[in-house]
Amino acid sequence: MGITLPILILCLPLFMFLLLGIGGVKMSRKVAGILGILGMGTTMTLAYIVAFTYFFSGNPEFIIDGVRQQYQVFDVTWLAFTPKLVVNLGFLLDPISAMMLVVITTISFMVHLYSWGYMEHEGGFQRYYAFLSLFSFSMLGLVVATNIFQMYIFWELVGVSSFLLIGFFYRLPSAVSASKKAFIVTRFADLGFLLGILTLSYFTDTFNFVSMTSNPMNVLAETGGATFMGCSVLTWAMVLIFTGGMGKSAMLPLHIWLPDAMEGPTPVSALIHAATMVVAGVYLVARMFPVYCVVEASMTFICCVGAITAFYAAVVACTQVDIKRVLAFSTISQIAFMMVSLGVARDYMIPGEHYSGLGYMAGMFHLFTHAMFKALLFLGAGALIHAVHSNDYTKMGGLRKYMPITHWTFLIGCLAIAGIYPFSGFFSKDEMLAAMFARHWFWGAWMTMVAGLTAFYMFRLYYLIFWWEENPEYEHHKPHDAPWQMSLPLIILAAVSCVSGFIPFGELVTWNGAPYHIHIEAPVAATSLTVAVLAILLATVMYRKKNPLPEKFRNALPGLWTAAYHRFYWDEIYLFITHNIIFNGICKAIAWFDRHVIDATMDGFAKVTQKVSYSIRGMQSGNVQAYVLWYFFGALALAIITLICII
Amino acid sequence: MDLNLLWYLVPSVVMFACGVYGFVTRKNMIAILISLELMLNSADLNFAIFNRFLFPGSMEGMVFTLFAIAIAAAETAIAIAIIINIYRAVGSTNVLESNKMKH
Amino acid sequence: MVGNIILYFVVALVIVIFSFMAIRTDKILRAATYLLFVLLGSAVFYFQMGYQFLGAVQIAVYAGGIMVLFVFAILLTHKPNDKAAPMESHRRIAGAVAAGIGTALLLYALFTMPMVCSSNGTMLSLGEALSGDQITMKMIGEAFTGTNRFQYLLPFEAVSVLLLASIIGGVTVGRKR
Amino acid sequence: MFGNILIWFVIIPILMMAGLGLCRNNGMGAIRAVMVVGSTALLALAIWLCVDFLGLRAAGIDDEMLYRGSWMWYAPLNIHLAVGVDGISVLMLLLSAIIVFAGTFASWKINPLPKNFFLWFALLSTGVFGFFISIDMFTMFMFYEVALIPMYLLIGVWGTGRKEYSAMKLTLMLMGGSAFLMLGLLGIYWHSAPEGGELTWNILEIAHNNAVDPTWQNLLFCFTFVGFGVLGAMFPFHTWSPDGHACAPTAVSMLHAGVLMKLGGYGCFRIAIYLLPQAANELAWIFIILTGISVVYGAFSACVQTDLKYINAYSSVSHCGMVLFALLMLNTTAMTGAILQMLSHGLMTALFFALIGMIYGRTHTRDIRQMGGLMQIMPYLGVCYMIAGFASLGLPGLSGFVAEMTIFFGAWEDVDFFHRAFVVAATCSIVITAVYILRVVGKLLLGPVYDQHHLQLTDATWFERFSTVTLIICIAGIGCFPNWINETIQHSFLPIVKALQTAI
Amino acid sequence: MDYSQFGAMMPELIILGIFLLVFLFDTFTPDNGKKFLTPFTTVLFLLGTVAIWIVPGCSESVFGGMYVDSPACKAMKCILNVGVFICMLEAAKWVETDMVIIRKGEFYELLLVTLFGMYLMISARHFLLFIIGLESASLPIAALVAFNKHKYESHEAAIKYILTAVFSSAILLMGLSFVYALSGGSLYFSDIAASFNGGMMSTMLLVALAFVLAGIGFKLSLVPFHLWTGDVYQGAPTAVTAYLSVVSKGAAAFAFFVIFVQVFGQVYSQAWEWMLYAVIIATITVGNLFAMRQKNMKRFMAFSSVSQAGYIMLGVMAADTLGLASMMFYILVYVVSNLGAFAIISMIEDRTGLVSMDDYKGLHKTNPYIAVAMTLAMFSLAGIPPFAGFFSKILIFTSVTGSNSMALYMLVLIALINTIISLYYYLLVVKAMWISADEPKIQSFGTGACEKVALTLCVGGILLLGLVSCVYQWLVNVVGETFILPGLN
C-alpha cells in the first residue's frame, strides 16, 4: 500500500483544522459547515478504502497464511532522544487500527453532519468545526500510532481537543470548569502513562509497538528481574501505562470528569465521550495486550478496576436525572465491560481453556458496536435536548408521539445496549460474557449483573423520556423531530446498530491476527438474555406510566439512593482534596512561604544592612576628638590583635 | 645604674600618652593643638634617643628630628591660622561646637 | 655620671609633670606655658645626649617660634571668663583608657625591642653612646648641603617648599575675605 | 576581526545604539526605523548563521566550535576577545534574535523616553549576543553583566507598580549572583593550566587542559553554579523573578524571561559543568535537590497567584528550574532537553509576557479576578494566550512538549532512587502546570465578561499581531519539527559529556 | 656634591616651575590681568603634563638613593596630573565666583604645591623625604578646604581636617621612629628592606607597622582612620573635595604600596598582611554602610570614596607587579569616574546651590546629557561593564587572587559582596535622576567650555579606558620594567 492515502487520512483533518481555525473568521457558517463535512466525508471514504484494503485485499503485506499482519505504512523519525530511543511518527495498520479508522471516521462524519443542524444557531460555528477536525486528526493519529510515544503525543492532543470542545460554550462557567476538570484529571492520568512509558522504554530501548508486542517475553527479560517495592518493574510500568488508559476511559477513580464533560455540545459527547476518545484506554490495553499478558498482576488489576467501575457506574446511572449523565455513566460502565473483557483474555493457551484470546476479540467487538449504538443514543439525546431545550428527563415524558424518528432510533439504541437479540449489543456482550465465564465464573456472574443493570437503567431512561407523562409545557412549545441533517445520522446509526452484530468480527480482529469463528454460547446467551429481559420488564413496570413505585423504591433505600444520586460523593472527595488540601493547604502555604520566608529573607539582608548602617552612624559623631579616638584605638587594635594572633 | 635608652624613652612615651589624652578631652582647639605638640615632640625625642643609643655613629635620627621640628612648625602655623579663622567666623574655639556635620 | 642621672631625673620629672599639667589645667595660657617647660625639658635631653644643635633648634623654633604663635593665638581667641568646663566624664574615661593602653603597648614594645636584647644582652649606656665622635656644626652643615648618601640637600630644599606652602596657606586662610 | 561573522552580533546592536543616539528624543519614526532595521538585520544574521552552521556541520566539519576568532585584549592576564559557536550557541543566538525582533514590535508605542528605552534595550541585546558568542570567560562575564544592568533602568523607568523596589531587588540579587560567579571564574582562571603552563580564560583551552585542582573544583563549582543559578531562578534565589517580571515593561519581561534567564542555564553547563566536570559529578546532587524544589515549588506557587505576571514569573521559576535540573542529570539526552527547554521557555514566555503586556495595555489591570471572558472581546489575543498556555503545559506540537519529554527521558537514564524520585517529582509539575494554566485561561479568557467596560476594548493591532505571530510560528516550528535542533544540540554536547565521563 | 642630580627630578622641577610662574603672575599682574590667570595656569599645567610625559624618566636613583623617578613613578605622576588637570577645569568656574576670585592665585598655587608634595611621596625612597612630601601634600589642603570663607561648613571641615592630619602625622612619626629603631640606622627604603629578615618579629615592629599604616591610612581614609572624610568632603569646596578624593588618595596609595611592599615586604605574611586584610574589609564595608544612607551628594561621595579606597588597597594585598599595575589602573579609572561625578556635583552646586540627592530627582528631564554623564560615572564607580570601572575592579580582583590563597579568595568574595551594596547606593543616584517622578528642582542650564572639556575627558575615560586595553598594558610594562619587588614572605 502506498503512503498517499494514509497520509491523506491524517493530513486532511489537520488541514481542515488549520483552514477553519485560521480562515474560519472570514468564512460564512455555511461554507465552513460544508467544508467541514466534505473534509470529513473524504476522510471517511479514504479510511474505508484503507480499512477495506487491509481486511479484504488479501495482499501479502496484510495477511499471510490467513494471519493478519501488522504493517507499518510509514514510520519516520521525529525526535531522537538517544541513538536507540527514537520517537517515530508513523502509520500502523493492523486489525484494530483499521477497525478504529472505520469507527472514528464514521462517527465523526455522522457528528459533522448532525452538528450542522444541531449547532446551527450557536456562535462560533466555524470554530466548532475546526475543533472537530482537530479532534478527528488527533484520534486518527492515536489509533494508527506505530509506537507508544506517538500514541502519547496524540493522546495529549485528543485531550486538548476534548478540552476545547467541552468548553465550547465558554461563556458558561459550568462548561469552563467541566473542561478544566476533564483536562486536569486526564492529565493526571497521563502522568502515570508517561512514567509508565519512561520505565518501559528504559528497558526496551524502543517505543515501537511491533517490536515490543511481537516478543513480549523479551521485554520481561530486558528488565532483568528488577523490582520496586515488591513488584517487578514491568508490572509497575504496565500498571502505570494503564493508569493513562484509566484516565481517558474514565475508570474509577478517575472517572469524575466524564459526567461533567456532558457540558459540551451533545454531538461532541457522542463523538468524543461515547464512541472514540473514551475507548482510547481500551485501545491502549489492546495495543499493548501481549505485554500485559506477560505480567499477570497487571491483567488482574485491569479486571478489578473494570469490574468495580462497571458496577459502580451502572448503579449511579440508575439514579441520574440528566439524560446525558445517564448516558455518560452508561458509557463508563460499558467501557469497563470492555476492560474486564480484555482483562480476562490471554495471549497464550491456558490448559483446558479454549477461550483464552476470546476476551480480546469480544472487547474489540463491543468497542465497535458500542461506538455505534452509544453514538446513536447520544445523538438521539441531542435531538431531544434540541427539542425540549433541557437535559432533564423531568422536563420530558411522553415524547414518543411528538418525535417518532427519535423515539424509534432511541429504542433501537436501548435494545442494543441492553443486549437483546438481534441487535448488535447482544452479540458483542455475549462474547464478552462467554470469555469472562470461561476465565472464572465470578467475572461472568458479576458482569451479567451489570448487564442486567444496564438494561434496567436504559429502559428506565427510555420510559421516562418517551412514556411516563407528558410535560404540560408542550402546549406552549410543541417539540418536534429534528431536521434531516440530524435525523439522517440517527437513522444510519440505528441501522448499523441493528445489523452490525452479524459482522463476522472474529474473522477480522483477534489478538494475534488469526481468525476466530464466533459462535453463540447458548448457556451464556440465555442467561444474559433472561437477565436483560427481566430488567427491561422491571423497568417497564416501574416507569411506563406515572406511578408511585419509583418513589417507594427511593424511600425504601434512602441512603443508597442518595449516595448513588450523588455518585457516591466522588466529586466532593476530589473537591476536598484539590481545593482544601492541595490548593489551600499546599499551594497557598508555598506561596506564603515564598513571600514571607524566602523573599523576606532576601529582603531581610537588605533590611539588616540598612539597620546596621543606621546603628553605626554614631561613629560619625561630628566631633573630631571622637574621630581621633577611633583612629587611635584602631591603630592600637591593629597592633594588639596582630600581636595576639602571632604570639 | 646607668642611663640607657629606656630611661629616656619613658618620659617620651608619657608625653605622647598625655598628648593623646589631651587631644580627646580638651575643648579649646588651641589646647588640642598644644596636646598635639606634645605628641609631635615625643616622636622627635624618640628619634634623637634612638639615634644616640642605637646608632651613635650616624646622625640620621637627629636630622630627622630637625626636619620634624620644621614640619611641626608648619603644621602649627596652619592650624593656628584656621583656628583664628573659625574664631572669627563663629566666635568660639570650642571644638564641641564644630560638629554641625555628622552622621 | 651621677650628675647626668640627677639631671635626667629632674628633667624627666619636669617633662612628665608639666605634660600632665598642660593637659589638665583649665587656663589655656597656663597650658601653653607648661608646654613650654616640656619643650625646654626636651631640649635639655637633647643637650644631654650631645645634640647641641638640635637642642638649640628646639629652643629657638619651638620655644621661641611656636610658643609665640600659641600665645598670639590664645590672646586673639581668648575671651575673659572663658573658663572651659571639663569634658563629660565618659570622654575622659575613654581618653584615659586610650592613653593607658597606648602607654602600655608602647612601653611593652620598647622594653621588648630586639635591639635591646640582641647585642650581647647589653645596652649602650649614655656614656658609651657619647663616646664616639662629637657631631660638629661642620658635619651638620655638610650633611645639609650634600647630595650623597646620608646627606640631606634634597629634603632641605623640599622642606623649604613646604614652609612656603604653609605660609601661602596661612595667608590664604588668614585673609579677611 | 570584522571578517568574523560572530562579531557582527555585537557590532549591530552597537550600531543600533549609535543610530539611536543620532535620533531626536521623540522622533518615533526614526527610532522605530533604526530598531526595525537593526533587529531585522540581527534576525537575518542569526538565520544565516544557523543555516551556514548546519551546512558546515553537514559538510563534516567536526570542530567543537566553529567560526572561531581570538584577538588579544588584556595581554598581561591573557584575556582575549575570543569567539566561537557550537550548535547550542547558534540556537541561543537565533532565539535571542527572534525575541529582540519580537520585543521591538511589542514595544512599538513605548512611552516615555522612547529613545532611551531602545538605547538600553540595544545595550541589553549587546550583552546577550556577546555572551553567547564568547568563549573567553572574561568577555563572557563582561557581556553577562552588560546584559544585567540595563534591566535596572528599563524596569525602573518604564515599569509599573512597585517598580523601584523590584528593579533594585532584581539588580542587586542578580549582581549578588554574579559576585559569586566572578570569584568562581577567577578561581578557574588561576587553575586553568597545569603547573608552569600558560594560564588562560579560554573555555576550550581550560577544558582541554583539565587542570583545575580537584579540591578546588568543588568550591568553584558551587560558586559558578550558584552564580549562574541565580539568574536561572534557582530556589531559593528566585525571588527577584516574580517582582522583577511583574513590574517590567512588556519588551523587557520578554527579553528577560526569554533570553536573559537563559544566560544562567547556558553558563551553568558551559562553565560550571564543562570546566569543572569532577565537581559536577560529585556535587550535582545538591543542586538537583534545589532545582527539583524549584520545579515543583514554582508550579505550586503559580497556582494561587492572582497577578498574571506573577503567575508567569513563578511558572518561569518552574520551567527554568527544569532547565538546570536537566543539566544536572549530566547526560546527553537530558542536557539536550535542557537546551530545548531553554528555547521553548524563551519563546513561550516571551509570548506570554507580550500578551500580558497587550492585555494590560487595554484593561489596565493584571489581576485575574478583575477580568473575565476576554475571549469574546479580543479573540486574537485570547487564542494566542491559549496557545502560549498550551505550549507551557506541554501540548504536543508545541515546543514545551518536546523539551519536557526529552528532559524526562534523559533524566530517567540515571537509575538510582534519588534521581528517579526527583524525576518523578519533576514530572508531577506538568500536571500542576496544567492546573495553573487552565486556571488562568478559565478565569481570564473564558466565562462571562467580568467588567462591562472591557466590552469596548479592541483586539490586537498589526504590530502586536506581527510580534506574536513570529513567536507562535517559532514555538510551533520547534514543536513540530524538533529533530534537527535536537541533533544539533546533541552533537554540541559530545565534548561536555565526554569531559564528564572521563572525570568520574 | 652633585647638583646635576636635581636634573633627574624633572617632574618636580616642572611643577615647581609652574608654581613659580603662577606665583609671579598672580603677584605681579595688575587686577585686570588676573582674569587670564585661570587659562594661563591651565594651559601651563597641560604643557607641563605633556613635558613630564615626554621627558624620559631615569630609573637610577639619585641623592644617594633618596629619590627615584622610575617609569612607574612617572606613570603615576601622569595619572595624578590627569586628575589635577580635570580638577582645574572643573574649578575654573568656581574660582571666578565672588568670594573666591581674589584668592584664586592662591588656589592654584596650593594645588600645585600639594601636587609637588605628592610627587615627592611617590618618588621618595627615604622616609624623611617621604614625610616632607606627605606633609606638603596634606597641610596646604587644609587651607584649600577652608577656602569657602563665607561658608561655615568650610571652616568646620578645615579644623577637623587639620587636627586629624596633625594627629595622624604624630602617629606616623611615632611609627617611623620605631621603624628607625629597627632599621639599622638608616631611613633609606632599600636599607630598611635589607635590614629586615623574615625571622625578626617583635612587638615593636607590629606597633611600627600599625602606626605607619594608620598614618598613611589617614590620607587614604581607610577605616577606622577615615572619620574625617565625610565631614571634610562635605564642607570643603567641591573642587577641593574632588581633588582630595582622587589625586591625594592616588598618591597615597602608590606610596603605601611602595612602603609596604618594598620596605616591609619581608614581613608581609607575618605581620601586615593580616592588618591590611582587616583594614580592607572594614574599609569597604563601613564605607558602604555609611554611604548607603547619605543624602548630601558630597558626603555620599565621601563614603563612596572610603569604600573605593578599600578596593584600591587590594592591589597592595596582591603585592606584586600585577597588583601595582592593577592598582594604578584602578586609580586612573577612579580618577575619571569620580571626577566625572564631582564635575556634575560642582556644576549643579555652582548653579543652584543644591547638593542633596533628592534635588537631583527628575534631572534627566531638564539636563539629559548631564544625567547621562552622571549615570555613566555611577556605573563606572559601581563596576558595571562596559564602563572602565568594571575592568579596573576585575583586574584588581584578578591580581589579588593570583597567589591562590584561600584567605585572599575570601577577601575578594567579601569585596564582591560589598560591590552589591555599593551598586545599591550608586543606583540610588541613578534612580533619583531617572526614575523618580517628582518635578525636577534643577532648571536646565548650560555648561561652560571648561566644564565641557572636563566632562568629556571623564566620560571618554569612562567609556574607553576599559575597552582599550593598551593603558593597562602600558602600566604593566612600566611597572614590570622598573619595579624589582622583593620576594614576599
Q: In which band, very low, low, confident or very high, does the pLDDT at A242 lie, cut at 50, 70 and 90?
A: very high
Shortest CB distance from D434 goes to which of A170, A183, A202? Answer: A183
What is the pLDDT averaged over residues A527-547?
A: 88
- Measured CA to CA in angstroms, residue A644 lies from A311, D64, E206 at distances of 86, 56, 11
Sequence-distant (≥ 6) Cβ neighbours of residue A617 within 8 angstroms: B103, E290, E293
Mark yes or no for CB contact E62/C147 under 8 Å.
yes
Per-residue model confidence (pLDDT) at position D235: 86
Residue B50's domain comprises 5-90
Mark yes or no for CB contact C149/E188 under 8 Å.
yes
- Tell me how close the Cα of D337 comes to any Cα of chain A, in angstroms: 9
Residue D303's domain comprises 5-503
Q: In which band, very low, low, confident or very high, does the pLDDT at A1 lie, cut at 50, 70 and 90?
A: low
Q: For chain A, what percent of residues have pLDDT higher than 90? A: 30
Is the Cα torsion angle A520, A521, A524, A530 positive or negative in sign?
positive
Mark yes or no for CB contact D375/A78 under 8 Å.
no
Helix (H) or strand (E) holding D16: helix D7-22
What is the pLDDT averaged over residues D290-310?
A: 91
Residue E199: is its pLDDT beyond 60? no
Shortest CB distance from C73 goes to which of B10, B30, B56? Answer: B30
Q: What is the CATH number of domain C1-84?
A: 1.20.120.1200
Of the residues E151, E166, E168, E289, the best mutation for testing chain B's interface (the one with the most B CB atoms within 10 Å of its CB) is E166
Residues of chain A positioned with their CB less than 8 A from the CB of D242 = 594
Of the residues B13, B82, B99, the best mutation for testing chain A's interface (the one with the most A CB atoms within 10 Å of its CB) is B99
Q: In which band, very low, low, confident or very high, does the pLDDT at E98 lie, cut at 50, 70 and 90?
A: confident
Asked if the C-beta of E439 comes within 8 angstroms of chain C's C-beta atoms, the answer is no
Write down the mean pLDDT value for chain A.
Answer: 87
Backbone φ and ψ of E61, nearest 5°? -85, 145
Residue C119: is its pLDDT beyond 80? no
Shortest CB distance from A642 goes to which of E168, E206, E290? Answer: E206
Q: Where are the domains of chain C?
A: 1-84, 115-177
Which residue(s) pair with A76 in the sheet? A89
Mark yes or no for CB contact A629/C98 under 8 Å.
yes
Write down the mean pLDDT value for chain E.
Answer: 90
Asked if the C-beta of C175 comes within 8 angstroms of chain E's C-beta atoms, the answer is yes
Please check whether residue E207 is in contact with residue A639, taking contact to mean a CB–CB distance below 8 angstroms: yes
Of the residues E152, E159, E178, E231, the best mutation for testing chain B's interface (the one with the most B CB atoms within 10 Å of its CB) is E159
For chain B, how many structural domains are there in total?
Answer: 1
Sequence-distant (≥ 6) Cβ neighbours of residue A218 within 8 angstroms: none
Q: In which band, very low, low, confident or very high, does the pLDDT at A29 lie, cut at 50, 70 and 90?
A: confident
Shortest CB distance from D402 goes to which of A79, A183, A194? Answer: A79
Backbone φ and ψ of D235, nearest 5°? -60, 135
Residue A349: is its pLDDT beyond 80? no
Residues of chain B positioned with their CB less than 8 A from the CB of C74 = 30
Q: In terms of CA atoms, which chain B residue is nearest residue E172?
A: B43
What is the pLDDT averaged over residues D165-185?
A: 92
Q: In which band, very low, low, confident or very high, does the pLDDT at A645 lie, cut at 50, 70 and 90?
A: confident
Mark yes or no for CB contact B102/A622 under 8 Å.
yes
Which amino acid is located at E88 in the chain? M
Per-residue model confidence (pLDDT) at position E393: 94
Residue D182: is its pLDDT beyond 50? yes
What is the pLDDT averaged over residues B33-62?
A: 91
Mark yes or no for CB contact E397/D182 under 8 Å.
yes
Residue numbers of E between 117 and 146 with CB closer than 8 Å to C:
117, 120, 126, 128-129, 132-133, 135-136, 139-140, 142-144, 146
Determine which of A300-304, D413-417, E230-234 has the lowest per-residue pLDDT on average. D413-417
The torsion angle over the Cα atoms of residues C10, C13, C15 and C21, rounded to 10 degrees, is -140
Q: In which band, very low, low, confident or very high, does the pLDDT at E484 lie, cut at 50, 70 and 90?
A: low
Q: In terms of CA atoms, which chain D residue is nearest residue A588?
A: D304
Shortest CB distance from E67 goes to which of C154, C169, C175? Answer: C154
Asked if the C-beta of A599 comes within 8 angstroms of chain D's C-beta atoms, the answer is yes
Per-residue model confidence (pLDDT) at position A228: 81
Distance separating alpha carbons of residues A168 and C120, to the nearest angstrom: 106
The torsion angle over the Cα atoms of residues A233, A234, A237 and A242, rounded to 10 degrees, is -140
Which other chains touch chain C, taking contact as 3+ CB pairs less than 8 Å apart?
A, B, E
Distance separating alpha carbons of residues A311 and A309, to the nearest angstrom: 5
Per-residue model confidence (pLDDT) at position C84: 61
Global confidence as pTM: 0.92
Distance separating alpha carbons of residues A20 and A38, to the nearest angstrom: 13
Distance separating alpha carbons of residues A497 and C104, to the nearest angstrom: 112
Sequence-distant (≥ 6) Cβ neighbours of residue B36 within 8 angstroms: B19, B23, B75, B79, E163, E166, E167, E170
Sequence-distant (≥ 6) Cβ neighbours of residue A288 within 8 angstroms: A148, A209, A212, A213, A238, A241
Residue D19: is its pLDDT beyond 90? yes
Per-residue model confidence (pLDDT) at position A468: 81
Q: In terms of CA atoms, which chain B residue is nearest residue E150?
A: B89
For chain D, how many structural domains are there in total?
Answer: 1
Per-residue model confidence (pLDDT) at position C121: 58
List the grid coordinates of E117: 608634595
Residue D6: is its pLDDT beyond 70? yes
DSSP D85: E
What is the pLDDT averaged over residues E44-62?
A: 86
B33 assigned to some structural domain:
yes
Residue E335: is its pLDDT beyond 90? yes
- Tell me how close the Cα of D406 comes to any Cα of chain E, in angstroms: 37
Shortest CB distance from D179 goes to which of E385, E401, E416? Answer: E416
Q: In which band, very low, low, confident or very high, does the pLDDT at C117 lie, cut at 50, 70 and 90?
A: very low
Residues of chain A positioned with their CB less than 8 A from the CB of C95 = 629
Per-residue model confidence (pLDDT) at position A550: 82
Asked if the C-beta of C45 comes within 8 angstroms of chain B's C-beta atoms, the answer is yes
- Tell me how close the Cα of C120 comes to any Cα of chain B, in angstroms: 14
pLDDT tens for residues D80-136?
A: 999 999 999 999 999 999 999 988 888 888 878 888 899 999 999 999 999 999 999
Helix (H) or strand (E) holding D79: strand D79-85
What is the pLDDT averaged over residues E86-98?
A: 90
Shortest CB distance from A198 goes to which of D303, D412, D446? Answer: D412
Residue numbers of E between 287 and 346 with CB closer than 8 Å to D:
322, 325
What is the pLDDT averaged over residues A419-428?
A: 87
pLDDT tens for residues A66-103?
A: 888 888 888 899 988 888 889 999 999 888 899 999 99
Shortest CB distance from C54 goes to which of B7, B48, B75? Answer: B48
Residues of chain D positioned with their CB less than 8 A from the CB of A79 = 402, 405-406, 482-483, 486
What is the pLDDT averaged over residues A156-180?
A: 90
Of the residues E326, E401, E416, the best mutation for testing chain D's interface (the one with the most D CB atoms within 10 Å of its CB) is E416
Q: In terms of CA atoms, which chain C residue is nearest residue A633?
A: C98
What is the pLDDT averaged over residues D178-204?
A: 91
Which amino acid is located at E34 in the chain? K
Residue E488: is its pLDDT beyond 70? no
pLDDT tens for residues A313-335?
A: 999 988 888 888 889 999 999 99
Helix extents (H) in A296-403: 296-317, 323-344, 358-388
**CATH number of the domain within which B43 lies:** 1.10.287.3510
B102 assigned to some structural domain:
no
- Tell me how close the Cα of B7 comes to any Cα of chain E, in angstroms: 15
Distance separating alpha carbons of residues D55 and D57, to the nearest angstrom: 5
Mark yes or no for CB contact B87/C143 under 8 Å.
no
Shortest CB distance from D156 goes to which of E398, E434, E476? Answer: E434
Residue numbers of B between 30 and 59 with CB closer than 8 Å to A:
32
Residue D445: is its pLDDT beyond 80? yes
End-to-end C-alpha distance for chain A, whole angstroms: 94
Residues of chain A positioned with their CB less than 8 A from the CB of C105 = 636, 639-640
Q: In terms of CA atoms, which chain C residue is nearest residue E182?
A: C115
Shortest CB distance from A642 goes to which of E225, E227, E274? Answer: E274
Per-residue model confidence (pLDDT) at position C85: 66
Per-residue model confidence (pLDDT) at position D35: 92
Q: In which band, very low, low, confident or very high, does the pLDDT at E144 lie, cut at 50, 70 and 90?
A: very high
- Are 3 or more Cβ–Cβ pairs between C and D shorter than 8 Å? no
Per-residue model confidence (pLDDT) at position C118: 46
Per-residue model confidence (pLDDT) at position C81: 64
Residues of chain E positioned with their CB less than 8 A from the CB of C151 = 63-64
Residue C116: is its pLDDT beyond 60? no
How crowded is residue A319: how many other Cβ atoms within 10 Å of its Cβ? 20
What is the pLDDT averaged over residues C89-105?
A: 93
Q: In which band, very low, low, confident or very high, does the pLDDT at B81 lie, cut at 50, 70 and 90?
A: very high
**Among B36, E345, E48, E26, residue whose Cα is nearest residue C172:** E26
Mark yes or no for CB contact C77/B67 under 8 Å.
no
What is the pLDDT averaged over residues A431-457?
A: 88
Which other chains touch chain D, taking contact as 3+ CB pairs less than 8 Å apart?
A, E
- Tell me how close the Cα of A225 comes to any Cα of chain D, in angstroms: 15
